Amino acid sequence: MPERSIGPVTARRFVCAEPITLAAGVTLPGWELAYETYGTLNAARSNAVLICHALSGHHHVAGYYTDAPKNIGWWDNLIGPGKPLDTNRFFVVGVNNLGGCHGSTGPSSLNPATGEPWGADFPVVTVSDWVRAQAKLADALGIESWAAVVGGSLGGMQALQWTIDLPERVRHALVIAAAPRLTAENIAFNDVARQAIITDPEFHGGNFYRHNVRPTRGLRLARMLGHITYLSDDQMAEKFGRKRRPSAGSYGFGVEFEIESYLRYQGDKFAGWFDANTYLLMTKALDYFDPAEAHGGDLATALAAARAKFLVVAFTTDWRFSPARSREIVNALVKNKHAVSYSEITSPHGHDAFLMDDHYYHTVLAAYLRNVET
Amino acid sequence: MPERSIGPVTARRFVCAEPITLAAGVTLPGWELAYETYGTLNAARSNAVLICHALSGHHHVAGYYTDAPKNIGWWDNLIGPGKPLDTNRFFVVGVNNLGGCHGSTGPSSLNPATGEPWGADFPVVTVSDWVRAQAKLADALGIESWAAVVGGSLGGMQALQWTIDLPERVRHALVIAAAPRLTAENIAFNDVARQAIITDPEFHGGNFYRHNVRPTRGLRLARMLGHITYLSDDQMAEKFGRKRRPSAGSYGFGVEFEIESYLRYQGDKFAGWFDANTYLLMTKALDYFDPAEAHGGDLATALAAARAKFLVVAFTTDWRFSPARSREIVNALVKNKHAVSYSEITSPHGHDAFLMDDHYYHTVLAAYLRNVET
């Protein structure tokens, strides 16, 4: 067992018989969320921390499965006994979002009306939908308010949305490598990824399940493209540069440069397991996220009702959601005189930095979380 | 006829019976280049300017065709009587590169050995190959040395290569919005575009011609992605932002944001006419371009033999080939004590700025070209 690991964990199911009507106007008659918990909920039920995942994340955030010891949670470097998010103090909850493909109700789940996978009929979900579903899970766990809601990227957007939609239920929000809304360029990258999937002949309009195929070509391209935006230009230059593969032929279209090998490997790996419809839904939730929109574009007004204290973290080389985007959030919070700490971490790792075990970054999170009362 | 237009022009064919052996080791037994000329070659044959095209460009650089008056050359704003590249003084030559799809020998041309289109068998071409082929055209036109070789982006790389490969034949090189070599990130974007094309089921390993189909899905994605890198983030934000299409539905995957509409339109338009194999070849020529490679990575050494004078131009918001990349070229020239002027143009238009009719940019080009002796 790795040092300070939370150790073996078990995925759980929260089954909700109460229907939920989503922003898209569609009602899911019954639904469920896959989740995990680490640490112990205290008697006052006041030490719970919610971890929100990003585009391709899920509820398996820390620890490992006994029957799959190499399947370690995606934020395991952050969460565990003695780690920055210390499970000796906190009761940590990881959850797979609605629309996901890791056990929560999503496009590959059976639609009770037809007995077949939802496929293209699964409704578009929004960040606010996720917050409402996560709140139902909190109810079921007896958690009235979260000590903290924590997330990076799309997960940070959920943390922010929690403070707006359910202000009394969040005491601290840790909004990491996020943005208050996507730019046209962000949306453009998402749309290319979506078009890659949708125009893959094996997508079958989203109903590929019944054809027993998967749009792996499109998913692979989407992931390759995504990876370019997750890394920094400098890091790519340092890690790959113009290096050739030792075995590479030349004057052809096989793998030749190391960067091609890396991207194609990442694309193939991802295409092998991720659900194409979930990918579409997650990117659309990103595109729609814009809490200021209902307030004439004014983010400060949108955040006026928030009651949480905030830690906003950005990374210098993140060009997907640059520090300038995080500062928009900080400025809107400051305008409201909300308590906010802001940390801009010098990191070469681009957007992916939020997942990395960076000493300074983890020190900042640990210091902030040490002052979060349980 | 638009003011100061060169007017109606005619495309010409240069047929070369002499075989050319390319860097890839393949010999084209006979080959041809489509080209156009504007203005008049003077008696001393000393006023010729070569225009090199970028990824999707061609030989139709200025003027229009009598039978297609709306088909105006891609750099018409620059070239014509009284324009910065003044056809009252200069004899301007536009050429479609080997491997192209606008009349020069390329993948859709017939392979004399089989009587069928070359398709996947057409060799990868390099920037140096193009320079050699263009030199044969110069020979045929009786042009011993170019007053100037001019190009933007991949065209700028050709101008640079001319000064290295045939230093006695170039008196001035105008290297615009270029770079001395691609970064890992540049190659990564190219590889995603190539993989989109190659994995399109209608690509048929490059031999789609004989199947009477075209890999339009892949080409469309490649072009959508390309467009993101041609524009600046700021310009996209200003032009499209998060604006919705008036007719857009919501909570679906149709066109909803204006930026989606723009990208898909550009992708569809391009996929309707461009040759997929040519797209692959052009991106590969970009990836391979690295004149410093043969000199231990030292660009100054690579440029030591150059005899031309240089104008290097970059645009502030170009993130495909940023001003820092142009300054690498400038520094290598300065190290050699070559004559070089450098202009960094403030423009919101990103990489595409080199094609735009920007007053300050055109003033810089006009001022430089006025001092080019004919």
Q: What is the pLDDT of residue B2?
A: 57
How confident is the model at residue B110, as a pLDDT? 96
Give yes or no for A187 touching B (CB within 8 A). Answer: yes
Q: pLDDT per residue over B259-318, tens digit each? A: 999 999 999 999 999 999 999 999 999 999 999 999 999 999 999 999 999 999 999 999
Best residue in A181, A182, A185, A279 for a mutation probing chain B (most B CBs within 10 Å): A185
Does residue A2 have a pLDDT over 70?
no
CB contact under 8 A, A183 and B233: yes
| Mean pLDDT along residues A55-60 | 97
Q: Flag whether pLDDT at A242 surpasses 80.
A: yes
User: Is the Cβ of B223 closer than 8 Å to some Cβ of chain A?
Assistant: no
Chain B touched by A296 (CB under 8 Å): no
Q: Which residues of chain B have pLDDT under 50?
A: none
A103: Cβ contacts below 8 Å, ≥ 6 apart: A11, A13, A32, A33, A34, A58, A59, A96
ipTM over 0.85? The verdict is yes
pLDDT band for position A4 (cuts 50, 70, 90): confident
Stretch A40-63: mean pLDDT: 98
Dist. CA A355–CA A78, nearest whole Å: 9
Listed by number, the residues of chain B in 33-62 with a beta carbon closer than 8 Å to a beta carbon of chain A are: none
Checking if the pLDDT of A110 tops 90, the result is yes
What b-and-e string marks burial along B52-79, b requiring 16 or more CB atoms within 10 Å of the CB?
bbbbbbbbbbbbbbeeeeeebbbbbbbb
Using the Cβ of A260 and the Cβ atoms of chain B, whether some distance falls under 8 Å is answered with yes
* Residues in contact with A124: Cβ distance below 8 Å, sequence separation at least 6, in sequence order: A22, A23, A24, A281, A284, A285, A288, B251, B252
Residue A1 has pLDDT above 60, yes or no: no
Helix (H) or strand (E) holding A128: helix A127-141
Compute the distance between CA of residue A355 and CA of residue A152 in angstroms, rounded to an integer: 8
Mean pLDDT of all residues belonging to chain A = 97
**In this complex, do A221 and B201 lie within 8 Å of one another by their Cβ atoms?**
no
Q: Per the structure block, which two tokens stand in for A223?
A: 């992931």
**Full-model pTM:** 0.96
Q: Which residues of B touch A256 (CB under 8 A)?
A: 287
Length of chain B: 374
Please give the average per-residue pLDDT across A210-239, as a whole number: 96
- B-chain CB neighbours of A189 within 8 Å are 228
In angstroms, the separation between the Cα of residue A243 and the nearest Cα of chain B is 9
Tokens matching residue A128:
């606010």
Using the beta-carbon criterion (under 8 Å), do B187 and A257 form an inter-chain contact? yes
Q: Do B182 and A242 touch (CB under 8 A)?
A: yes
The pLDDT assigned to B248 comes to: 77
What does the block give as tokens for B102? 């606008």
pLDDT of residue B37: 98
Cβ within 8 Å, pair A221-B221: yes
- A264 and B195: CB-CB below 8 Å? yes
pLDDT tens profile A273-328 = 999 999 999 999 999 999 999 999 999 999 999 999 999 999 999 999 999 999 99
Q: Once rounded to an integer, what is the mean pLDDT over residues A254-262?
A: 96
**Does the structure show a pLDDT above 70 at A52?**
yes
Disruptive mutation site among B98, B191, B239 for chain A (greatest number of A CBs within 10 Å) = B191
Tell me what pLDDT residue B247 has. Answer: 80
pLDDT tens digits for A130-145? 999 999 999 999 999 9
